A and B are shown apart, each in its own frame.
Chain A
Amino acid sequence: MLFRKLEDKINLIYNKKSVVFFAFLLAGFFIIFLRLLYLQIINYDKYKKIADNNRIRVVRVKADRGFIYDRNDNIIVKNKPSYNLYLVREDIEDKNNLLNLINQKIPIDKELIEKRLKKAYYYQEVLAYRGLTFEELSYFSENIEDLQGVNIKLDPVRDYLDSTSMSHIIGYLGETTEQDLKTKQNYFAGDLIGKTGVEYFYEDILRGKDGKKFVEVDSLGQTINTIEFQPPVNGKSLRLSVDYRLQKFAQKLFGNKRGSIVVEDIQTGELILLFSSPTYDLNEFIPYITEENWDKLIKDNKKPLLNRAIESHYPPGSIFKILMALIGLKEKAITPDSKFFCNGKLEFGNYEYKCWKTAGHGDVDLKKGISESCDVYFYNLGLQLGIDKISEYAKRFKLGEYTNVDIPNEKKGVFPNRDWKKNAFNQIWFPGETIIASIGQGYISVTPIQLVNMFAGIFNGGKILKPHIVKSIIDDNEEILTKTEVYDYITIPEKIKKSILDGMTEAVYGRHGTSYRARVESITVAGKTGTAQVVSLKKTEKYDDDKIPEKYRDHSWFAAVFPAEQPQYALIAMVEHGGSGSQSAAALAGAIINKMVDLKYVSD
């Protein structure tokens, strides 16, 4: 009986709750009903109108891509019109027939188009062909009524002031990949996107934001009326820090030679010149690159797509002696007057480490060590400093590290230390390897941009900068300068800087100097040659460079800072298989510096 009563009570409570529960759900349905009422009765006219005009479509209006200027206001990259053929799936009646019809006139990739059509959004325009010629354009325009589903639209492509001398900096555009579509917002198949160079690095800035248009179309899908227009936001423009005239000049100088040359403003990190040879023609990518041309480019064993200034790394050879000198002075291992005796070799352990000059340099101080590039001097200095000190400084100067320059695909190279060797070979570091490293050989492998940035750091008073190639971003009459970023600060007293400069000046102007080919008339240049061995040739034997097959010839380096009295620019030139540094690279550097004097970058 009691149980029965309890049960009744519980039932009473829960039956009440059930009613409340139902009322709650009813309220939910009522909300939906009110919404239907709002849409179907109150807003009926509005939606009816839209539905009657169901030929109203939303069309994307592409934003104009920003321009690219050089530091002197030359327009390096702008846009020019290109006519593209688009397809709209919903308008097509017989796809196969249509594609065949189009194919009679222009070579289209049917498979790719079918794939894109399948994936396309409703009434999305799908790119079928880029770059119609005038003749093709008129053909399709005339026959548009028989080609239901075809739209022809103007879609700008890049227009270059010079399609070769700045290719590695600018970079080319290409169609979005599947990966791009997955990872990036608001891109569609067939859209152009920066693939390399600043076009890639500054894609988001250059691209802008697409707008949209609500348009009325006729039964053929052709636009007859624009109802609403939300304008696109065009991309911002870039101003490069490089000088087009110098780029052009460098290209002429290099000719068929392979290599690179970089000039950096040592105070700001701006790259005034960054040229890599051989280069490639950006116009081959306009309106799109043919498979044939692409194959030719990537199979070319001269590797024209490679930006040798930032993507190739080599042993720096004797150029590295400059950093050694700095470390020696900074760490007080030597003074400018400390002398080492060079009899042509250094004996250490069971080995003999030879100087490039078999007869020896005799008593060598810092100035002579740098200007005549005495190897024995730096062997001794290296042994005094030890690899730990050397690699610590190298790391701070970003050798074997990313400089994070604003062009993609930068490579790191290697600057070895004990840990690196342990990881790479599972071996301890041998002192003999320190000796080799002291003259920039052995495991060391660095990029030209790392070296030029190192020189900038040494001669600007110790600021390790982030080099950059974009000087500013231009946005509606406002120009926003790229800030100079400083990674690290190493105090370098004026006295130390002076001692090194003396050695480097002597290298160019001294009687026994190795860098005389870099002399220019109106200003004083401080320089240092380097030779990166490609194969180990016995240093004792004299080879005539011209008699060695080219691919076995050493890489030729030259580093310079100028004007020597108060350095403003650092320069690195490198010629692959150019023989010793005193030859090709120094001459190239001299010509560039001369040109910079002509262009009033420096004056006496």
Chain B
Amino acid sequence: MFQIDKRQLKNFDFILLLIIFLINICGILAIYSASYDMSDGTFDAYYKKQILWFGIGILAFLFFSAVSYKRWIEYAYILYVLGIILLILVLIIGHVGMGAQRWINIGGFRLQPSEIFKIIFVIILAYNFRDLSENNLTIIDIIKKSLILLPPFLLIFLQPDLGTAVIFLAVWGMVLLYRGVTKWTFIISLFTFILSMPFLWFNLKEYQKNRVLTFLNPERDPFGSGYHVIQSKVAIGSGGMFGKGFLQGTQTHLKFLPERHTDFIFSLINEEFGLIGGSIILLLFILLIYRIIQNAIETSEPTAKILCIAVASVTFFQVFVNSAMTVSLMPVVGIPMPFVSYGGSSMITFMAMMGLVNSAKMRKFNSPSEY
């Protein structure tokens, strides 16, 4: 199972790991601040738990680095089927929280199958799109390729977890474009997508519609879903260039801002560290994604290329959607910021995916013929 030789160790991506470390340190500091209760000076245990999750994440990273990514790709369909079963299971026996059914309780631990499925998804994409021949994909090809997208997309949509479902769609779309489509296919697909919007709208839950409407006009519901957006904007805007200082964020600490350790952690960073702090986070993610794409370029093995592109896409979309929502560029959806938002499932998922990228990097000298 573990096939490690010296050549592989030489290619171990320490820079990737370093960037991940830096992002995590920022995250832990932010969660530490979010755990701080200004009124009585006490701390919640969130940051301690996050450090623990990070530790477990490192193990996941090393494990996925050590195992050849090709192993996973060989068993892509088995993994896929198992993942789909988990997603169906969550709809049947899942734990209901905040109006959605997203978790399965396993001995006190809450497993979020849609998070785990992200790992499976990048693997199945790598397998499914591995044929990098030159001719571009036609409509028929796209329909065939969408067969792997639709089951997880619909199952997650039903939970309902619109945000995560859209991430899957977007990542699939990015890989599809990367693989290349004909011009007409692109135009027709875009057209179909736009036409399907009303259909999508009527299938949204009432609260989801409200979020979208509130996004378009936050003043519409200042007590309900508009509250988050207004408070988040105030927190970020009042941070200014340099921020109010560590543990000094008045908006976040006076409990004006809800969910400040999870979905709105980016608002806290911007309030306490200002534009500088926010930009540093963005910059670190740019570096991370740059590093992943560099790996995609260096390897000439098709599945590794797609794998890296898919991981870069997931990372990008989650960072983008999360930060866009805190700065009121998108409706509020429950998408965490990778490594920065508090949460175990997300941490392990992303560390595992980075492990996959590292695994590809360590084996970049493998030629396609070896697959």
Which residues of A are interface residues toward B (Cβ below 8 A)?
A: 3, 7, 9-11, 13-15, 17-19, 21-22, 25-26, 28-29, 31-33, 35-37, 39-41, 43-44, 46-48, 50-52, 54, 58, 60, 90, 121-122, 124, 212
- The answer on a CB contact under 8 Å between B240 and A17 is no
Interface positions, chain B 269-314, Cβ under 8 Å from A, are 270, 274-275, 278-279, 282, 285-286, 289-290, 293, 296-297, 300, 302, 305, 309, 312
Decide yes or no whether B156 CB sits under 8 A from chain A: no
Decide yes or no whether B85 CB sits under 8 A from chain A: no
Interface positions, chain B 210-255, Cβ under 8 Å from A, are 222-224, 227, 231, 233-241, 250-251, 254-255
* Pairs of residues from A and B, 6 with the lowest C-beta to C-beta distance, nearest first: A47-B237, A51-B238, A39-B237, A47-B238, A40-B275, A35-B327
Further 14 A-B residue pairs, CB within 8 A, beyond A33-B279, A212-B222? A7-B368, A10-B134, A18-B178, A18-B309, A21-B178, A29-B282, A29-B285, A31-B324, A37-B275, A40-B274, A47-B237, A51-B251, A58-B222, A58-B223
Closest beta carbon of chain A to B348's beta carbon, Å: 24
- The answer on a CB contact under 8 Å between A39 and B178 is no
- The answer on a CB contact under 8 Å between B240 and A40 is yes
Closest beta carbon of chain B to A102's beta carbon, Å: 21
Question: Which of B134, B223, B316 meets A121, CB within 8 Å?
Answer: B223
Question: Which of A26, A31, A122 meets B329, CB within 8 Å?
Answer: A31
Decide yes or no whether B112 CB sits under 8 A from chain A: no
Chain A residues whose CB sits within 8 angstroms of the CB of B250 once the complex forms: 51, 54
Given the interface pairs A25-B316, A28-B316, A33-B279, the reply to whether A122 lies near B369 with Cβ below 8 Å is no
Question: Which of B240, B282, B300 meets A41, CB within 8 Å?
Answer: B240
- The answer on a CB contact under 8 Å between B237 and A18 is no
- The answer on a CB contact under 8 Å between B256 and A26 is no
Closest beta carbon of chain A to B233's beta carbon, Å: 6
Chain B residues whose CB sits within 8 angstroms of the CB of A47 once the complex forms: 233-234, 236-238
Chain A residues whose CB sits within 8 angstroms of the CB of B227 once the complex forms: 121-122
Which residues of B are interface residues toward A (Cβ below 8 A)?
A: 132-134, 174, 178, 180, 222-224, 227, 231, 233-241, 250-251, 254-256, 258, 270, 274-275, 278-279, 282, 285-286, 289-290, 293, 296-297, 300, 302, 305, 309, 312, 316, 319-320, 323-324, 327, 329, 367-369
- The prevalent SS among residues of B at the interface is helix
Closest beta carbon of chain B to A176's beta carbon, Å: 15
Closest beta carbon of chain A to B209's beta carbon, Å: 11
Chain B residues whose CB sits within 8 angstroms of the CB of A14 once the complex forms: 132, 178, 296, 305
Chain B residues whose CB sits within 8 angstroms of the CB of A41 once the complex forms: 240-241, 275
Alpha-carbon distance between A210 and B335 when the two chains are bound, in angstroms: 32
- Could you list some 14 contacts between A and B, CB below 8 A? A26-B286, A29-B320, A32-B282, A35-B329, A36-B327, A39-B327, A40-B241, A43-B237, A44-B237, A47-B237, A50-B238, A54-B251, A121-B227, A122-B255
Chain B residues whose CB sits within 8 angstroms of the CB of A28 once the complex forms: 316, 320
- The prevalent SS among residues of A at the interface is helix
- The answer on a CB contact under 8 Å between A13 and B327 is no
Given the interface pairs A13-B134, A51-B251, A90-B255, the reply to whether A22 lies near B327 with Cβ below 8 Å is no
- The answer on a CB contact under 8 Å between B251 and A32 is no
Chain B residues whose CB sits within 8 angstroms of the CB of A13 once the complex forms: 134
Given the interface pairs A14-B305, A25-B316, the reply to whether A36 lies near B134 with Cβ below 8 Å is no
Chain B residues whose CB sits within 8 angstroms of the CB of A90 once the complex forms: 254-255
- The answer on a CB contact under 8 Å between A10 and B251 is no
Chain B residues whose CB sits within 8 angstroms of the CB of A60 once the complex forms: 223
Chain A residues whose CB sits within 8 angstroms of the CB of B327 once the complex forms: 32, 35-36, 39
Residue of A nearest to B240 (CB): A44
Alpha-carbon distance between A122 and B252 when the two chains are bound, in angstroms: 12
Question: Which of A22, A40, A58, A212 meets B289, CB within 8 Å?
Answer: A22
